[in-house]
Amino acid sequence: EAYQNEDPSLGNELLKSMIVHYDFLTNEEEKSIFNEIEPYLKRMRYQFDHWDDAIHGYRETERLQWNKDNKKVIDRVRSLVFPPSVAQLNHVHILDLDKKGYIKPHIDAVRFCGDTIAGLSLLTDSVMRLVHDKHTHLYADVLLKQRSLYIMNGSARYDYKHEILSNEHSKFDGKVVFKDRRVSVICRNEPRPEDRD
């Protein structure tokens, strides 16, 4: 709706650059990935009180090695998202948001990652809001269902801030979306050469 009186290319660009695959993971795959990372996450404490952090109520880690079954799933994400010519970050980013946690609007630093961000959502549904960085009245809410994969690139990645709404504000299409603890498993590619230094 917000796009009604705008240049239609803005809305089209967003639709093309933020794609969600529902039921990307089976229940078993979700459990298996969770079981591999939970022992590491459990040892850490959720961070709540850094006022300048983009994320509130989180703990995070990175993973390089996966067991055989989970490696297959991660490879399935990588091969769907990245053509063979694209240099990927080897580490997978694991972000664990407490039930009370949320991600404030931000654009991922171009120095640290490239044009594509692909994230699996484990344990809960949540709502991601994309707000145009320059035309802030333009925004879109995206339902990130449990076990879905989102692929954000191009315009959605560079022109929009993204956030994960807190439980208090978590609504989609007028309906409350209960956001419980959320673990995301995120694959990225190398920064563009012009952004590296």
Summarize as ranges the residues that interact with ligand AKG (CB under 6 A). 95, 103, 108, 119, 162, 184, 186
| Comparison of 7 and 80: residue with beta carbon closer to ligand AKG | 80
| Comparison of 55 and 138: residue with beta carbon closer to ligand AKG | 55
| Comparison of 118 and 138: residue with beta carbon closer to ligand AKG | 118
| Comparison of 92 and 138: residue with beta carbon closer to ligand AKG | 92
Q: How far is the CB of 187 from ligand AKG (least distance, A)?
A: 11
Q: How far is the CB of 170 from ligand AKG (least distance, A)?
A: 14
Q: How far is the CB of 195 from ligand AKG (least distance, A)?
A: 15
User: What distance in Å separates the CA atoms of residue 95 and residue 41, rounded to the nearest whole number?
Assistant: 9
Angle at 10 between CA 193 and CA 14, to 5 degrees: 65
DSSP string, 126-192: EEEEEEESSSTT-EEEEEE-TT-EEEEEHHHHHTEEEEE--GGG-EETTEE----SEEEEEEEBPPP
Residue of minimal Cβ distance to ligand AKG: 184
User: What distance in Å separates the CA atoms of residue 126 and residue 102, rounded to the nearest whole number?
Assistant: 10
Helix (H, G, I), strand (E, B) or coil at 106: strand
Q: How far is the CB of 88 from ligand AKG (least distance, A)?
A: 16
